[in-house]
Amino acid sequence: MRALGLFLQRRRHELGMTQEDVAYASGLTRSHYQQLEKGLSRPGVAANPSLLTLLAITASLGVDSEELMAVLRAPAA
């Protein structure tokens, strides 16, 4: 999930948004969004967001479902 976190962070920076902006627009707390960007749900445990959470975040970042799926399908580095 680290690739997803990096993707979200890059897109957020491109849009000039803060983590708080994205979290609010997505209906999440800032700390929850921050954990997803880091790829963690708690220290040492990989994030496992629900599909609804992913769709809410990507909608707030203007990312379509095809772009999201490409990120999720990419092999881990």
The tens digit of pLDDT for each residue in 18-71 reads: 999 999 999 999 998 998 998 876 666 667 788 899 999 999 999 998 898 898
Global pTM value: 0.84
User: How far apart (Å, rounded) are the C-alpha atoms in residues 66 and 7?
Assistant: 14
Two tokens at 45? Answer: 């445990």
Query: Which residues are within 8 A (CB) of 9 and not within 5 positions of it... i.e. 6 or more apart?
Result: 37
DSSP code for 74: S
Cβ(44)–Cβ(56) below 8 Å:
no
Using DSSP's 3-state secondary structure scheme, residue 67 falls into helix
Predicted confidence at residue 76, as pLDDT, reads: 67
Please report the pLDDT score of residue 63 as a whole number: 94
* Torsion region of 46: left, alpha or beta (phi above 0 gives left; psi -120 to 50 gives alpha): beta
Domains in the chain, CATH or no CATH each: 2-73 (1.10.260.40)
pLDDT at 41: 67
pLDDT of 72 reads 83
